Structure 1
Amino acid sequence: MKKALITGVTGQDGSYLAELLLSKGYKVYGMRRRTSTPNFENVEHIKDQIEWVSGDLTDLASLIEAVRLSDPDEVYNLAAQSFVAASWPQPLATGQITALSVTNMLEAVRLVKPSAKFYQASSSEMFGRVVETPQKETTPFYPRSPYGVAKVYGHWITVNYRESYDMFACSGILFNHESPRRGIEFVTRKVTDGVARIKLGLATELRLGNLDAKRDWGFAGDYVKAMWLMLQQDQPDDFVISTGETHTVEELVKVAFEYVGLDWKNYVVLDEKYVRPAEVDLLLGDCSKAKQVLGWDLEVDFEQLVHMMVDSDMKRLSQYKEMVSI
């Protein structure tokens, strides 16, 4: 039985990855930071199948202990401060949690289980003000947020450990990937939640920022398969994971509102407070290397993804509406 340690296991990606690994017969260890009110919402259905270990990304000693206890064959480092907008008011915390923590995890693995295969969650936000389109593994980085800068550090320190210590360490440069488990503060989920609230009479408007920003959106459940495939290769390497299609925020809004039979123009309000200090205008990934080398491909397209998320929020909020009306 293979053993895997996942940081960020209670997040969107971590929960889908844990499901995938459990289905493949892995013993899954989930690392979580001690809190007075733990949030298991995304993994409630598999919580008892996960072995839980304590650890804090900013505390090397706790990470060493987590690796020692789990003795993993594979380590998936998914935990981070992952909300781009929050990285401007919290740049130091973002640097500690999203950048330096990668060194902590790599060092813990190097010291305790150097034979373990290591996956680092890199991000398309590293490309920022893109210098070429589409973006591929060799495209230079030009991050436009403290989050993007932190992810660049995490990416390059992973490359450095691979080359310095001959570790099997690789990065997945994942473009935007969403699901019903996405945090409510992210624009995709903000839109689908807002659409459901308006349709059910729980809200009258949806306030958004830049509708012209273009993103390459895919389904998180598809993307975690690519993570696993990267660690099944004979040699470590880095891969762009994307759909190869780009859509504006306005397209996202239009698809979501049309799905419930509403005209988005009657409900969307543009609000300057949601405009980023430095915007990333266009992200579009070239995932041909992942398709060729890993044999990876998508199963859920853009419209299916948006409809899936609207359905989930409609169901959740319908139950809430019934409960409060009793």
Structure 2
Amino acid sequence: MKTALITGITGQDGAYLARHLINEGYRVIGTKRRSASTNTWRLDELGITERVELATVEMLEFGNILSVLQEFRPDEIYNLAAQSFVGVSFEQPIFTMEANAVAVYRLLEAIRIVDPEIRLYQASTSEMYGGITTESCGETSRFYPKSPYAVSKVAAHMATTNYREAHQLFCCNGILFNHESPLRGAEFVTRKITTNLARLALGDDRPLRLGNIDARRDWGYAEDYCHGMHLMMTRDNPADYVLATGTAISVRDFVIHAAEALDMQLEFDGEGSEETAHDTRTGRCILRIDPEHYRPAEVNTLIGDASKARQELDWAPKISVVELAGMMAHKDYNRLKSGAAIL
């Protein structure tokens, strides 16, 4: 039985990945922070909480990482832990760099010291491409980070590549474009959309408030992407891969798809910060633009080229963005209707 250590196991990707690895016959160790209460609602929802072992790991403390690797001797490590909010990174840039980049150096050094045969998956992000204006971004595209979060992820990505080349470690960077699911945190824009539309569908009159609804993203289903992570780790030789659908839609379109799943037909009116959307069936205001949600440096379009993953990993997304928006909207509607808390 192989052992996998997943940092950030209580997050969206961590939960889906844990279920996949358990189904593949792995012993799964998940990490939790010493100072944080452990919220296992995602693991609970997937029905795997009792099949995951939790270990206390502080990614800001090198000695702690060393001792955990020595104790569990994992075959594979999936580093999904991070300060992952782009907006927060502008407010806390130093902490973001510490948590997302320096912590990866600690993990790489610990692997090199404890057992260089341990395989590492590092969660990179499409935000690293930032202001690139090409039609789509692949593994060799230039990085142009536009936020402290993206800068920290570029640093971690390059550190992982350097350890692979300098120390012959099996290290993979997964450059994942936006991937969502009903397990996405409510702070992220897709869940913000679906939870608020579900609330409106149940009779609430407070409109959804968003910033730049013309930003375009390449959105896929998180569970598809977690399967891709495992495929990267089971190859003979390590390499970096982009995972993406290759199609981008706007935030506006995601709102429209989610609204349609809840039997709303939206009509937009106005421009800029004065733009609104109403449900043509009821006349109710569903969406308002709020300049408070604009970012200091916006990334307008991100589209991924996953041709390498398709060819070498035989990976392809299975769920379309329209299906994804509907899935998330229906799940949040049922959660709210049953009185469940939105997490």
Does residue 1:292 correspond to 2:311, yes or no? yes
The amino acid of 1:276's aligned partner reads R
Counterpart of 1:117 in structure 2 is: 119
Counterpart of 1:149 in structure 2 is: 151
Query: Following the alignment from structure 1 to structure 2, what is the Cα–Cα distance between the partners of residues 116 and 151?
Result: 21
Alpha-carbon displacement from aligned partner over 1:64-84 (angstroms, at most 9, x marks no partner): 112112211111000000111
Alpha-carbon displacement from aligned partner over 1:103-126 (angstroms, at most 9, x marks no partner): 111111111121011100000000
RMSD: 1.2
Counterpart of 2:325 in structure 1 is: 306
Query: Following the alignment from structure 1 to structure 2, what is the Cα–Cα distance between the partners of residues 46 and 65?
Result: 26
1:190 Cα deviation after fit: 0.3
Unaligned runs of at least 5 residues, structure 1: none
Counterpart of 2:255 in structure 1 is: 253
> How many residue pairs end up in the alignment?
322
The amino acid of 1:289's aligned partner reads K
Counterpart of 2:53 in structure 1 is: 51
Query: Following the alignment from structure 2 to structure 1, what is the Cα–Cα distance between the partners of residues 161 and 318?
Result: 30
Query: Following the alignment from structure 1 to structure 2, what is the Cα–Cα distance between the partners of residues 131 and 101?
Result: 30
Does residue 1:319 correspond to 2:335, yes or no? no
Does residue 1:273 correspond to 2:292, yes or no? yes
Alpha-carbon displacement from aligned partner over 1:198-217 (angstroms, at most 9, x marks no partner): 00123420000001100000
Does residue 1:76 correspond to 2:83, yes or no? no
1:36 Cα deviation after fit: 5.4
Which of 216, 222, 225 matches 1:223? 225
Give the TM-score normalised by the residue count of structure 2: 0.92
Query: Following the alignment from structure 1 to structure 2, what is the Cα–Cα distance between the partners of residues 203 and 191?
Result: 15
1:152 Cα deviation after fit: 0.2
Counterpart of 1:180 in structure 2 is: 182
Aligned pairs for 1:132-171 (under 5 A) are: 132-171=134-173
Does residue 1:21 correspond to 2:60, yes or no? no
Counterpart of 2:5 in structure 1 is: 5
1:21 Cα deviation after fit: 0.2
Give me the identity figure in percent: 45
Query: Following the alignment from structure 2 to structure 1, what is the Cα–Cα distance between the partners of residues 72 and 135?
Result: 41
Deviating beyond 3 angstroms after TM superposition, the runs of 4 or more aligned structure 1 residues are none
Alpha-carbon displacement from aligned partner over 1:128-187 (angstroms, at most 9, x marks no partner): 001422100000000000000000001000000001100000100000000011011110
Give the TM-score normalised by the residue count of structure 1: 0.97
Unaligned runs of at least 5 residues, structure 2: 267-276, 279-285
1:248 Cα deviation after fit: 0.2
